[in-house]
Structure formats: C-alpha cells, structure tokens
Amino acid sequence: MRNLEEKLKNQARYDALFRRLAQAMGVLVILLVIGVFFTLVKESWPAIKAFGLRFLWTTTWDPINLEFGALPFLVGTLITSFLALAMATPFALAGAIFLGELAPPKVANPVSFVIELLAGIPSVIYGLWALFYLVPLVRYFQMKIGAPPYGLGLFTASLVLAIMILPYAMSVARDVIRLVPQDLKEAAYSLGATRWETIRHVVLPYARSGILAGIVLALGRALGETMAVTMVIGNRSAMPHSIWDLANTMASVIANEFTEATEDVHLAALVEIGLLLFIITVVVNLIARLVIIKTRVR
Amino acid sequence: MKVPYPIFRTEDLCAYYGDFMAIKHVTVSIPEHQVTAVMGPSGCGKTTFIRCLNRLHELLPGARITGKIYLRDEDILELDPIIVRRRVGMVFQRPNPFPTMTIYENVLAGYKLLGIRLKREEADRIVEDALRKAALWDEVKDVLHRRGTFLSGGQQQRLCIARALAVNPEVLLMDEPTSALDPKATLQIENLIVELKNTVTIVIVTHNMPQAGRISDYTAFFYMGELIEFGPTAEVFTNPKDPRTEEYLTGKFS
Amino acid sequence: MRNQDPRKTPFPARENWRRMKNRIILTVITVLALLPAIPLFLILFQLLKEGLSSLSLDFFLHLPAPPGEPGGGGIANALVGTLIIVGLAVLIGVPVSILAGIYLSEYGRHGKLSETIRVCADVLQGVPSIVIGIVAYAWVVKPMGHFSALSGSVALALMMIPVVVRTTEEVLRLVPDILREAALALGVPYWRTVLKVVLPTGMVGVSTGILIAVARIAGETAPLLFTAFGNQFLTLNPLEPMSALPLVIFNYAMSPYEDWWRQAWGASLVLVFMVLGLNIVSRILARKIAGEK
C-alpha cells in the first residue's frame, strides 16, 4: 500500500490546483469581454481624440482629407436592421404559431428541423445568393416603379437580412409557444373559444415576453450581421436619402475598408465604429436577457 | 452503552446544514464485525449520521461537523478525508454504477479513478474476489466487459457493493440499500449482508423494521437528530427503554 | 372545439361570425407561415443547381488559377486552410471552455463570480463577428506585423468559447449527484471525480456543443477578413496568411469574372455540406442523449 500513500499524499494540493485552474478559465471569460472592450477603446483612441462626440452626428466620411463622421453608418445599420425586423416579424410569428399550434407534429417536426438547419447556413452564402438572384429581382422591381435601378442598396440589404433572421426568430418564438401549458388551452376550448380566440387570448399573452426576447435577439443578430449585407448594400459612404440608395452599415464599412486603410486615423475611425457596434449589441443582448429573466420569474 | 471491540466511536458529534442542527450531541460506539442498524422516522438524521462517518456530509454547501469521530482510536476529522473514505466504504439508496464504465471497470473504480495501476492478474483477482463476496460473480462472469447499466436493479446494487468491497474497507456504510429494489432482490442483499459481516463491519440505515430485525446485531435509534436508544437489536426491539422507541416500533409514527 | 348547436344559442349570427373569423385568420396565418419557405427553398435549390455544375475532382485537388485559364482551378488551399484554421481554433477554445464550464457546474453553481462569468459568456456570444475580427487583428496581427492563420483561429476561438462554456455547464449539471458521491465515497479526490466520472458521463453532450460551435465558426467570414486574410497558394504554416472556404466565396463572388462566380457557388456547396453535416450529426447526438434519459 506504499504506492497508495504516495498517490494520496498530494491529492489535496491537486484538488486545490484543479479548482484554481477551472476558476482561472472562468475568470478568463470575464477578462476576454473586458479585453475586447479596452482593445476597442485603445485602438480607436486617435479617432476619439480627433473627432470627439462629433463622430456620432457628422455625416462626412472622407478618407482622403481624413475627416470622419459615423452617422451615415449608424443610420444605415438602424434602417436595415429595423426594416428587416419589420419584414420578418409577421412571418416569423405566423410561422411560430403554425408550427407550435396548428400543424400536426408529423408536419411540424421535420419543418422545424429544416428551419433550424437553414438558420445555420453561413451568411456569406446568403450574400452570394442575394447578389446573383435577389439583386436582379430588385432591379427589375425598381425599374417598374421608377426608382433608380441599382439592384444593390439599403432595401436589398434589409430584404436579405430579413430572410436570414427569419428562421432564427421563428424557432425562438416556436419554442416559447410550445411551453404554454396544455391545460390553459384546454380551459379556453372548454369555454367554447375557437382556435384563434384561444391563440389570441391565451397562447400569445402567455408567450408574449418570450416572443419579445426572441425578437430582440434577432435584432441583435441583424445589427451585427456583416457579410450578406456587405455584398449587396453597395458600399457607398454617404448619408442615404431613400431606401433605394446605395449605402453602408457599420459592419459593412469595416469589412470594406479595414484592410485598405493606410492612415492611422482612418483605421482608428473604423475601430471606433466597431466599438459603437459592440456597445449597441451588448445593450441589446442585455435587454433580451432581462426580458428572459423576467419571463422565468413569472 | 459499552460494546465489545468498538471500531467506531463518536463523542458529542453534531452535524449542521447551515444553521440547522441535524445531528445533536451523539456519543456512540459501533462494534466491529457486527451489523448495526440505524433506524428512526424520516428526517431524524440517520442518513446524515452515516454520512459523517465517511466525511461525505461536509461536502454539501454550508454543512459542518463538530465533536469527535474515532476510527480505531484515530480521529477521522483530523485525517485526510480521502484516506477515511478508502477505509469506510459506502453503498447508496439507489444503485449508482458508473454508466461510462464496464462491470469490470466499475469494480476496479476505486483503483482506476485514483490512477492506481494494477497488474493484469492482480486486477482480475480483485474483480473476481469482490464480485464473489457480493454474490454477483456467477451472474456476470461472462459479461464483465459490458456496461453495467443493463443489469437489473438488484444486480446493480450488488455491483455497487462489489465496487465498495474491492478496496478492502474496514467498514461498509449502507444507506437504505434495498429501498429501490423488489422483494426478491432485497432478500438477496439481506443474505449478503449477513455473510459479509465476517469480512467487514456494516452500518446500515433502514426504516424497514423487519429488515433491521432480520439482519442487525445492534440497533441505534435516532429521533429528531438525537440518539435516543442504542443496544443489541433483540433487546431494543423487545424491551425498549425510551417511550419514543416503543411508539415507533409499534407504528405510532413513521 | 365545436360548442353548442348554433340553433340553440341566443345569437346565431354572432356565432357564425366567430367561426368565420377563426377560419379566415387561421388561413392567413398558414399562408404567412408558408411564404418564407419560398426564398429559403430557392436558396437551397439554386445552390444545388449552380454548385453541382462546378464540382469535380479537380475542383477539390487544384489550386486557384487566374480567371479564364482552361481547367479553371480549384479550392484545395481553401479546404486545407479551413480545416487548419478551425482545428486550431478548437485546440485553443475547447480546453478553456470545458474548464470554465466545469467551474460553473462543479465549483460555482451559485455566487457572484459564476453569475458574472455567465453574463460575460452571453455578452461575448452577442459580439458581432466583425468586431471579433478587429480584436484578433489588434491582439495577434499587429504585434506579429502580418496576417496569419493563427490570428484567424484566435478570432474563431473567441466565438466558440461562450457556446461551449454554456453547453458544458448545462450538460454537466445534468450528471446525477449520486455518481459524484459514489466516486467520492471510494476515496477519489474531487478533481479526479470531475475528470474521470462527471466529464465522461456528460461527454456526448459536450461533444454536441463543440460540434454546434464548430458548425457555426466554420462558415464565418467576417472575422477572417483581416486576420487569416486569404492566400492564393497552399500553405500549412499557421503563421502565414491562409485561405479559407468563406474567404474564397466572398472574394470570388465580388470579383468581375464569371469563372470565379461559378467557383464561388461550388465552394458554397462544399461549405454548406460541411456545416449541415456537422449540424445533423450534432442533432443526432443530442437526440441520443435525450433518448437515454
């Protein structure tokens, strides 16, 4: 049993060591987030110093004369994201109700499976498809209604974003709708409510905050989505005036200009846009988290 | 009361969950090579008591122990808990073989999990020996290298007993080992316990009175965290000193 | 669902209207639900149509060629690059994530530190991939002075860590306490109990989490744009710029050459097969766990 005693002698120390190691990796996750934030602040410092708050509300983006204002991209991101959300939400909600309440499991399960797989398709592939199929379609439509026929632009970007976030929003909403207790629904039916009345007055109110959290999470995705938007938005760094305009979002301007920026201030200005994007998405995600916590408490 | 050849001796043992005192000032000696039954109504602290004896109790958040617990004159609260648990094995309420291991590996878990390497012949010998002691060898000798999860509940529990015996403990603690089993499997385990007391001291928690009567030599009766009666089982059952023991034995509370 | 006979109700007109309204609205919902299937299936259909025509053995084995050259060139370097970059990301990210997940499940179920770690994992998961790219650029590319596969792997590891941390925690929490106690009662120290009993018991679930994370990062383009950057040649050196499938798709799609567009579709089909394959395998694994319960 010598062997055993040798083995056991150091176990208490190893125990403490392992605990420390695991804890250190947990703390590392916190440090990574802090590190991301400080890196963004540090790298964008030349731009913050040069332009101050003006960066947020001026519209000139001029890499030649090194004058940078981010408002066009803020506007571009907000317009594309909210437009996409507005386009996707009704369909996502209808899809979630259909899959969660109306369709028999034989239909709902395989369809949900396919939807979740679609949510996993890389965004660059959505971008490729949009570039070669959606853009000509939009151009045709623009010619019909007399808008400038670029094909590319804010509207196309919003459209592809809507298609991309739809599967995600739908599966979140469906999961929430499935959680509505069967006996609540049966209570409504037994009072003589129709299917729609049950959905309208029992299912949706019960699932409301969960659906809301899903929409906010989808918004978070849309705000940060880069590739598909970059490929179809037209890469124009000026204030957009209509939804048919060529434009840039915060993410797409970084993707387009980062490797080409030769001046420090230009690079710093791009990083500052990244910093803004980081702050916005963190806030949006924390809001979604709060909504979810509230749901659980209830 | 005094017992011949005590192996365990507690002095003024108290156990807490946070502020709640689950074991109150227990002083008792447990005799070697005997079966001691720990009885009492649910929530009386009997499981907590035996979990103190191998220092599993203190692993729960907020749990602590005061007093002394002597195992052959060594205070186990001063020893390395790992050493204590090697000397004091435990079998749980529900059979819990490791689902990722084969039957063979399960029996050797006390070595493998500690990283102790055994020679092939030695390992085979330990496995066969432990499974024979647990009266499981004949049933599983041809399926040693399959997962233990396909066995019946009773077989799984005997596998857990073999696992505990494989490291040659001095004491085997059993926490209601038959409460999840059918009557036939229960009987097998009871017979096993009676046989095992030649090799190992057994402390068994049970709230099955006939069972305690069938298998135990001594009985400790707990009530609300206090030890209110301890003595040879025949004596405690026929002539209880404390009225609360009598009430329990006659079924006044459960 | 049908309530009383309408003839017996006091307001037959109202009852009819309710039933009609029910039918109309449910029809509208069904139509709305099925409409998005059109673009989604168009994507898959066109991907298959365009992609299959450019797939050939040469496509997998050859290096890129200038546009217009007969034979067309292939994506061998991008395939190898994706495997190396993702593989390195797994090597960097998985040990960290599993240990952090172990901490959350085995040591710090409650408590402020754990709650902070969980919030930070959620925050990290929500950071846009392009921003992760900037950070990896600042952390690796700038000090090294040039683009490299390693910097791309760092970016992808940052994206997979939160996913694996949270799934590891969730899976390990499902491992019943009686198994931990069984090991501890044998005198096994806690760290060995965790590594040899708890982790193996939850391994299927942890692997599912890793596969899901890999499926997600394998298709990421934005974090690679200014880290791995891309490379026309085959390289195995992680300290050099390296090509990856998503980068090839992006660069070829944005090029003015029809040849390259065709190859972008081919590369997309390969990438989708990879990602969907990983997703399907992880789902089968997940179902297996659910079945065992």
Is A285's CB within 8 Å of C126's CB? yes
> What is the rounded distance in angstroms from the CA atom of residue A157 to the CA atom of residue A226?
10
CA distance A254 to chain C (A): 8
- Please give the share of chain B, as a percent, with pLDDT higher than 90: 70
Residue A107 Cα distances to A101, A103, A111, C42, angstroms: 12, 6, 6, 20
Q: Which residue has the tokens 């056991």?
A: A8
Structure confidence by residue, pLDDT tens digits, C140-150: 999 999 999 99
> What is the rounded distance in angstroms from the CA atom of residue C161 to the CA atom of residue C181?
29
Is B96's CB within 8 Å of C176's CB? yes
C224 to chain A: closest CA residue? A255
Residue B254 lies in a domain: no
Q: Does B83 touch chain A (CB under 8 A)?
A: yes
pLDDT band at residue C293 under the 50/70/90 scheme: very low
Average pLDDT over residues A73-100: 95
Is A7's CB within 8 Å of B114's CB? yes
pLDDT band at residue C9 under the 50/70/90 scheme: low
Q: What pLDDT is stored for residue A145 in this prediction?
A: 92
Do β-strands B6-17 and B171-175 pair in parallel, antiparallel, or remain unpaired?
unpaired
> What is the rounded distance in angstroms from the CA atom of residue A94 to the CA atom of residue C204?
35
Residue B106 Cα distances to B99, B123, B177, angstroms: 9, 12, 18
Give the A:B interface size as CB pairs under 8 Å. 16
Length of chain A as a residue count: 298
CA distance C222 to chain A (A): 6
Residue B18 lies in a domain: yes
Is A8's CB within 8 Å of B82's CB? yes
Structure confidence by residue, pLDDT tens digits, A237-282: 999 999 999 999 999 999 999 999 889 999 999 999 999 999 999 9
Higher pLDDT, A103 or C157: C157
Q: Hey, CA dihedral for C213, C214, C218, C224, is it positive or negative? A: positive
Half-sphere exposure at residue C225, Cβ-oriented, CA atoms within 13 angstroms:
26
Note the ipTM here.
0.92
For residue A193, is pLDDT > 60? yes
Spatial contact of C19 and A194, defined as CB atoms under 8 Å apart: yes
Category of B38 on φ-ψ map: left (φ > 0), alpha (ψ -120 to 50) or beta: beta
pLDDT band at residue C5 under the 50/70/90 scheme: low
Is C186's CB within 8 Å of B167's CB? yes
Query: What are the residues of chain B with a beta carbon less than 8 Å away from any beta carbon of chain C?
Result: 54, 56, 59, 82-86, 89-90, 92, 94, 96-100, 109-110, 112-115, 160, 163-164, 167
> What is the rounded distance in angstroms from the CA atom of residue A76 to the CA atom of residue A62?
17
Three-state DSSP at B127 gives helix
- Give the total number of structural domains in chain B: 1
pLDDT band at residue C167 under the 50/70/90 scheme: very high
Q: What pLDDT is stored for residue C185 in this prediction?
A: 94
Chain A residues close to B114, C-beta within 8 Å: 4, 7-8
Spatial contact of A203 and A186, defined as CB atoms under 8 Å apart: no
Spatial contact of C246 and A122, defined as CB atoms under 8 Å apart: yes
Structure confidence by residue, pLDDT tens digits, A283-292: 998 888 888 7
Three-state DSSP at B98 gives coil
Q: What pLDDT is stored for residue B248 in this prediction?
A: 85
> What is the rounded distance in angstroms from the CA atom of residue C261 to the CA atom of residue A179?
45
Structure confidence by residue, pLDDT tens digits, B34-63: 999 999 888 888 999 999 999 999 888 889
How many Å is the Cα radius of gyration of chain B? 18
Average pLDDT of chain B to the nearest whole number: 91
Spatial contact of A88 and A164, defined as CB atoms under 8 Å apart: no
Nearest Cα residue to C184 out of B17, B113, B62, B95: B113
> Which of the other chains make 3 or more beta carbon contacts under 8 angstroms with chain A?
B, C
Is C222's CB within 8 Å of A226's CB? yes
Q: What pLDDT is stored for residue B115 in this prediction?
A: 85
Spatial contact of C173 and C209, defined as CB atoms under 8 Å apart: no
Interface of B with A in 99-128 (CB under 8 A): 114-116
Q: What pLDDT is stored for residue C41 in this prediction?
A: 87
Best A5, A7, A14 member to test B by mutation, with max B CBs in 10 Å, is A7
Do β-strands B6-17 and B20-31 pair in parallel, antiparallel, or remain unpaired?
antiparallel
Do β-strands B226-232 and B218-223 pair in parallel, antiparallel, or remain unpaired?
antiparallel
Spatial contact of C228 and C151, defined as CB atoms under 8 Å apart: yes
Structure confidence by residue, pLDDT tens digits, C44-93: 999 999 999 888 888 888 888 887 776 678 899 999 999 999 999 999 99
C199 to chain B: closest CA residue? B100
Domain C75-292 has CATH 1.10.3720.10: yes
DSSP secondary structure, A77-130, as one string? HHHHHHHHHHHHHHHHHHHHHIIIIIS-HHHHHHHHHHHHHHTTS-HHHHHHHI
- Whole-model pTM: value is 0.91
Residue B174 lies in a domain: yes
> Which of the other chains make 3 or more beta carbon contacts under 8 angstroms with chain B?
A, C
Which ranges in chain A belong to alpha helices (H)? 2-9, 11-51, 54-57, 71-97, 105-118, 123-129, 135-145, 154-178, 182-190, 195-198, 204-224, 227-232, 250-257, 264-297
State residue C110 phi and psi, 5-degree precision.
Answer: -115, 180
> What is the rounded distance in angstroms from the CA atom of residue C77 to the CA atom of residue A17?
42
Average pLDDT over residues C257-262: 89
Distance of CA B149 to the CA centre of its chain: 22
- Give the right CATH number for A55-297 from 3.30.70.150, 3.60.15.10, 2.30.31.20, 1.10.3720.10: 1.10.3720.10
Three-state DSSP at B221 gives strand
Q: Does C192 touch chain B (CB under 8 A)?
A: yes
B110 to chain A: closest CA residue? A4
pLDDT band at residue C245 under the 50/70/90 scheme: very high
Best B96, B150, B161 member to test C by mutation, with max C CBs in 10 Å, is B96
For residue C117, is pLDDT > 90? yes
How many Å is the Cα radius of gyration of chain C? 26
Q: How far from each other are the two terminal CA atoms of chain C, in whole angstroms?
A: 35
Spatial contact of B202 and B216, defined as CB atoms under 8 Å apart: no
pLDDT band at residue C7 under the 50/70/90 scheme: low
For residue C6, is pLDDT > 70? no
CA distance B251 to chain C (A): 31
Spatial contact of C108 and C114, defined as CB atoms under 8 Å apart: yes
Domain limits of chain A?
Answer: 55-297
C122 to chain A: closest CA residue? A285
Structure confidence by residue, pLDDT tens digits, C205-236: 999 999 999 999 999 999 999 999 999 899 99
Give the B:C interface size as CB pairs under 8 Å. 69
Q: Does C174 touch chain B (CB under 8 A)?
A: no
Is B96's CB within 8 Å of C181's CB? yes
For residue C4, is pLDDT > 80? no
Q: What interhelical angle do C76-102 and C245-253 show, nearest 10?
A: 130
Using CB atoms, which residue from C4, C39, C102 is nearest to A22?
C102
Report which residue type is found at B164. Answer: A
Give the CATH number, domain containing residue B103: 3.40.50.300
Chain C residues close to B113, C-beta within 8 Å: 183, 186, 188, 192-193, 196-197
String of b and e for C163-180 (b: at least 16 CB within 10 Å)?
bbbbbbbbbbeebeeebb
Nearest Cα residue to A168 out of A76, A102, A89: A89
Using CB atoms, which residue from B54, B100, B110 is nearest to C200?
B100
For residue C1, is pLDDT > 50? no
> What is the rounded distance in angstroms from the CA atom of residue C36 to the CA atom of residue A89?
11
> What is the rounded distance in angstroms from the CA atom of residue C46 to the CA atom of residue C69?
25
Instruction: Give the best-scoring range by mean pLDDT among A140-144, A212-216, B239-243.
Output: A140-144
Residue A120 Cα distances to A225, C51, C94, C285, angstroms: 14, 18, 20, 17
Of all helices (H) and strands (E), which one includes residue B175?
strand B171-175
Nearest Cα residue to A131 out of C270, C266, C53, C43: C43
Q: Does C258 touch chain A (CB under 8 A)?
A: no
**Going by C-beta distance under 8 Å and a sequence separation of 6 or more, which residues neighbour residue A166?**
A88, A91, A92, A95, C36, C40
Cα dihedral: C183, C188, C192, C196 (round 10): -40
Instruction: Choose the weakest-confidence range: A178-182, C210-214, C270-274.
Output: A178-182
- Please give the share of chain A, as a percent, with pLDDT higher than 70: 96
> What is the rounded distance in angstroms from the CA atom of residue B77 to the CA atom of residue B66?
9
Chain C residues close to B177, C-beta within 8 Å: none
Domain extent, residue B35, equals: 6-249
Task: Label residue A34 exposed, middle or buried (CB < 10 Å: 0-12, 13-18, 19+).
Answer: exposed
> What is the rounded distance in angstroms from the CA atom of residue C175 to the CA atom of residue C105?
10
Q: Give the residues of chain B that fall short of pLDDT 50.
A: none
Nearest Cα residue to B36 out of B58, B66, B5: B5
Q: What pLDDT is stored for residue A12 in this prediction?
A: 80
Give the E-state strand segments of B50-122 in sequence order: 63-71, 74-75, 88-91
Is C181's CB within 8 Å of B113's CB? no
Q: What pLDDT is stored for residue B252 in this prediction?
A: 64
DSSP category for residue B35 = E
Do β-strands B63-71 and B74-75 pair in parallel, antiparallel, or remain unpaired?
antiparallel
Spatial contact of B85 and C186, defined as CB atoms under 8 Å apart: yes
Q: What pLDDT is stored for residue B245 in this prediction?
A: 87
Structure confidence by residue, pLDDT tens digits, A25-84: 999 999 999 999 999 999 999 999 999 999 999 999 999 999 999 999 999 999 999 999
DSSP secondary structure, A237-261, as one string? -S---STTS-B--HHHHHHHHGGG-
